[in-house]
Amino acid sequence: MNLKFILKIIILFSAFGNILAQNEGLEIYLIDVENPMFKAKNTQNCLCCMTVNPGDILGEPLVAKDDIASFDWENQVIYINESGQKKLSKFDFMKPGRLPGVPAAITLYKIPIYSFIMFPPNSSNGCDRVHTMLEPGKFVMRFGSRRGKMGEWKYGTDPRFDGRLKFYLDNQ
């Protein structure tokens, strides 16, 4: 084979590989689902339970793979680097339809792993499923606010410790 042809093939595969690898992996997206925080609060049903599908992911990631400095698996804290902090500081929680929280999802390669409600800094709101409060430089993921009579979570198991996330973190 011609050396120029082989070089072109190598360059093409390198460029294609870079495109695929760019901003994929663990990311946080806003999702297009009804904001559960606008539901009646006096219900016995799970208020913040949301089902998210790949088609519900909106636009560009709110936090891209390159914006994440590290992920503390045991404590479920995602540390955000300077570029991610700049993005989040520009996020407008006051936009109509976003108060008192914003539906979002943790994704791996644009596949939703679980959804949560993202509350603005210093918010007094909470949620009966996964939710986060933005703190300087980090997302602290919390789970649940209600336990049943036997100590189990009232609305299912904690989705934060999904094995796919652990596998990704251990093998990246």
Burial of 112 (0-12, 13-18, 19+ CB in 10 A): buried
The residue behind tokens 């560009």 is 60
104-158 pLDDT, tens per residue?
899 999 999 988 888 777 666 666 567 677 777 887 776 655 445 544 545 556 7
Residue environment code for 98-107, b if the CB has 16+ CB neighbours within 10 A, otherwise e:
bbbbbbbbbb
In tens, the pLDDT along 50-95 reads: 788 999 999 999 899 999 999 888 888 889 999 888 888 887 766 6
Contact at 8 Å (CB) between 165 and 113? yes
pLDDT band at 20 (very low <50, low <70, confident <90, very high): very low
Q: How many whole angstroms separate alpha carbon 101 and alpha carbon 36?
A: 9
Q: What are phi and psi of 13, to 5 degrees?
A: -65, -35
